[in-house]
Structure 1
Amino acid sequence: MTTTVISRGAGAALLVAALGASATACGSDGNPLAAYPYDAADQISFSGPKEAGKKADPDKPLEVTAQGADGRITDVTAMDATGRHVSGELAADGSRWHSTSPLAAGTHYTVRVSTEDEAGKPGRKVLMFDTDKPEGQQRLNVTFGPEAGTYGVGQPITAELDQPVKDKAQRAIVERGLRVDSKPSVQGSWYWVSDKELHYRPQDYWPANATVEAHSNLENIKISDRLRGGAAKPLKITTGDRIVALTDAAKHLMTVYRNDEKIKEIPITTGKPGFATRNGIKVVLAKQYFVRMKSSTVGIAEGSKDSYDLPVYYATRVTWSGEYVHAAPWSVGSQGAANVSHGCTGMSTPNASWFFNTIHEGDLVQVVNSAGGDMELFDNGFGDWNMPWQKWLQGSAIASDEGGVGAQNKPRLSPQSV
């Protein structure tokens, strides 16, 4: 949420109205526009309950109104005790300010109002009030992913909700409350993968050596009549160098780039006919020094001509369905010349060791010129980068008029292919 709104207009005294709300205390403090701003205490009144101990209804907006014709509102800032700002709009003539983001329940607010009279003399008033905390409402809890750590520039940020949110207006409230910030700053957007999961990515990959932080401003915010935001643990990750492994299945060659500079070319083999490797951009999901790969985990019957049961080393996983980049000493004769695998990208053991030690979770493997289909967007790993940016924005509840829902993400399967 944002929030200091500054403008100039007309009005003389102030009426601060928390519609259905009341203030429990007030005072004054300095204003950088003048050394001695006047205190407008006798010019301010509040609508709503006046009795001591009464609290404001968090579901009603906050409003500040100037009375008369000899003064104007120049600035209003509303903030809760945790530092969350309440966004708002100030009329061009300075006659009225009203909140445009919801108030939180069970929360203490401080509202600072700056004014100016017809002679240009500034006034200031600080108001404080508490909001009520409705009983019997459920909480929407959010879990950010991945775990804290350092990742490649292709790692999306995920938000898992513990309850489904289907209504677009409710999704907009949730999305506005989930903040992702990066240094250096880049444009990004959430995409509703399902009713319970969102992914966040920039238009391009994250910058190299960046800091990315995600947090929720939803706690105690009304989402529906029976649902309010719950607490959420913030997330902080960093990115490393920009590592992209471009795999050309037709040329049987992988070219690895670091920060757009070519650092190695590796002869490879990819999926043979009937098992062709998926085209598209894939995000590294995990690395395992040793994996025992069995054809039965990918639906190939034991004893058939395509069955296998092999110890595999230096295995870098790029899909949940079992696609890896790994050492394949049994196919060295075909590497650089033919595609003979069951869908994985195979290379010599020394090259696989180098790749394994160079690549990290969140780095990118892009396959081109394969006879296979396209990488799935959400249900087989992170295919997020294969969606054009304008289409990605359509999956946001606030970035376009139409929200988008994709397939449920990341089934935790464990088959492997070689």
Structure 2
Amino acid sequence: MNHTPRLRTILSCTVLVVSLGASATACGGPDTHPLSDKPYDADGQIVFSVTAGGKKVNPDKPLEVVSKNRDGRITDVTAVDASGHYLAGELTADGMRWHSTAPLAAGARYTVRVATENEEGKPGSRRLTFDTAKAKKTLEVEFGPDAGTYGVGQPITATLSQPVKSKAARAVVERSLKVRSTPSADGGTWHWVDDETMHFRPKEYWPANSKITATSNLEGVKIGDKLYGSATKPLKLTIGDRIEAITDASAHYMTIYRNGEEINSIPVTTGKPGFSTRNGIKVVLGKEYFVRMRGTTVGISSASEGYDLPVYWATRVTWSGEYVHAAPWSVGSQGAANVSHGCTGMSTGNAAWFFETVKEGDIVQVINSAGDYMEEFGNGYGDWNVDWKDWRKGSVLQAGLREGSSPADSARLRPAI
């Protein structure tokens, strides 16, 4: 069969298409379309609510862009500060007015780009740069603890320079404070301890040997009435091995684990009746080779219970004075009876080993004591004694969200029909 005629037809069609394309170009088709022209200067068409190079703009006032005649309209507006943050805004349906829907940042430089078109559909553009005034009233945030290596139980803290009470203002602060871990932790959210203090922890302890970074995007951001955020120094922490010391007060023994494996079991004595050691999870706050312990400093003034002792190898777990320490005077009771005034006592050799093994942020948990539970806040870090569901309730962004969801998810929720 001869296929030559069909080949000629295809080639003829190809030539025709090329010829038509060349003809269209020669006639100047696309080049004469309004969108192919260089944008005209829309200076005479656009009016801004601010001026360039003049007095710094009050960040409490909105930004407005208006088309002052009906011969054209605004098609797009972008306003971005020097840090790359875009200012949210809204354009009217007729394209005659755009206005910001979010507060301007304080002490920032904005660049505004406006796209327009005239009545013939030709594109125009206008550009403006302006500065906002610095805030007179600022909120400072200080992350804690100090940079260094900590245990898996160490919460991240944020101390505010002044009270933040309203839910709306707290939401702004929470959104701006970020905590990230590598490898990633399971969940994690801020909890408002009080109007000036926030704590951050994941659902479970931090992953062993992870890296933690806390940062703030609050600088210049409006928090409340004339209150703006200031710059915050980032925080970087290293998390070490998972060290957990579990003290069974009724068995009179402490068992220490490293990354889930038992590494030591130590006979101890804990608080006697009337001075029972607190139950619950505590976090190592610090270590002191020598401490002078006096009963009067913790409210014990009676002659029968008073004491004044030199104490060595003292590992602090509460601010009120609960330690794990050397107690050579009670070695005969260690492993058999509880005779202390609330601390966990052990032999000098064991206390020295414990002192050298643990670090700030490591877990010290007491079980089966007749004492009360460790306070959640205010006497050290009792954060891990708060149920995860209740912990989330301490966040204005997470409260009310279902497990595993995020604040962004709530925006997608719709009522059932």
Question: 2:216 corresponds to which letter in structure 1?
Answer: S
2 CA distance for matches of 1:61 and 1:379?
42
2 CA distance for matches of 1:162 and 1:217?
16
- Secondary structure at the counterpart of residue 176 of structure 1: helix
User: Which residue does the alignment assign to 2:108?
Assistant: 107
CA drift of 1:139 comes to 1.4
- Secondary structure at the counterpart of residue 85 of structure 1: coil
377 and 259 in structure 1: CA distance in 2 versus 1, 3 angstrom threshold: same
Larger Rg: 2
User: Which residue does the alignment assign to 1:387?
Assistant: 386
Q: Which moved more, 1:38-47 or 1:228-237?
A: 38-47
Q: Deviations 1:200-258 (Å, cap 9, x if unpaired)?
A: 11111111112212222222222222321122222211111111111111111111111
Contact 2:87–2:102, Cα closer than 8 Å, also in 1: yes
- Secondary structure at the counterpart of residue 350 of structure 1: helix
Contact 2:253–2:266, Cα closer than 8 Å, also in 1: yes
Q: Are 2:174 and 1:175 aligned? A: yes
User: Which residue does the alignment assign to 1:206?
Assistant: 206
> TM-score w.r.t. structure 1 length?
0.73
CA drift of 1:374 comes to 0.3
Q: Deviations 1:381-417 (Å, cap 9, x if unpaired)?
A: 1101110111111111222259xxxxxxxxxxxxxxx
Q: Are 2:241 and 1:237 aligned? A: no
Question: 1:275 corresponds to which letter in structure 2?
Answer: F
2 CA distance for matches of 1:61 and 1:213?
34
Question: What is the alpha-carbon root mean square deviation over aligned residues?
Answer: 3.8
Contact 1:86–1:101, Cα closer than 8 Å, also in 2: no
Using CA pairs under 8 Å that are at least 6 residues apart, name the structure with larger relative contact order, 1 or 2.
1
CA drift of 1:293 comes to 0.7
153 and 43 in structure 1: CA distance in 2 versus 1, 3 angstrom threshold: farther
1 CA distance for matches of 2:242 and 2:78?
41
2 CA distance for matches of 1:63 and 1:257?
62
Consecutive unaligned residues in structure 1, runs of 5 or more: 1-36, 66-71, 115-122, 403-418
90 and 201 in structure 1: CA distance in 2 versus 1, 3 angstrom threshold: farther
- Answer 1 or 2: which has greater helix percent: 2
User: Which residue does the alignment assign to 2:337?
Assistant: 338
Contact 1:256–1:265, Cα closer than 8 Å, also in 2: yes
> TM-score w.r.t. structure 2 length?
0.73
1 CA distance for matches of 2:130 and 2:207?
42
2 CA distance for matches of 1:249 and 1:297?
24
Q: How does 1:10-409 map to 2 (within 5 A)?
A: 48-49=48-49, 51-53=51-53, 58-59=59-60, 80-81=81-82, 83=83, 85-86=85-86, 102-109=103-110, 129-133=129-133, 137-186=136-185, 187-301=187-301, 304-400=303-399
Matched length: 353
Contact 2:191–2:395, Cα closer than 8 Å, also in 1: yes
329 and 47 in structure 1: CA distance in 2 versus 1, 3 angstrom threshold: farther
CA drift of 1:161 comes to 1.2
Question: 1:293 corresponds to which letter in structure 2?
Answer: M
- Secondary structure at the counterpart of residue 48 of structure 2: coil
48 and 380 in structure 1: CA distance in 2 versus 1, 3 angstrom threshold: same
Question: 2:238 corresponds to which letter in structure 1?
Answer: T
Consecutive unaligned residues in structure 2, runs of 5 or more: 1-35, 67-74, 116-122, 402-417
CA drift of 1:57 comes to 5.5
User: Which residue does the alignment assign to 1:25?
Assistant: none
Q: Deviations 1:290-322 (Å, cap 9, x if unpaired)?
A: 1111111111115x2211111111100000111
194 and 51 in structure 1: CA distance in 2 versus 1, 3 angstrom threshold: closer
Percent identical among aligned pairs is 61
Question: 1:326 corresponds to which letter in structure 2?
Answer: H
CA drift of 1:327 comes to 0.9
2 CA distance for matches of 1:113 and 1:394?
43
2 CA distance for matches of 1:394 and 1:41?
54
2 CA distance for matches of 1:177 and 1:297?
41
CA drift of 1:111 comes to 7.0
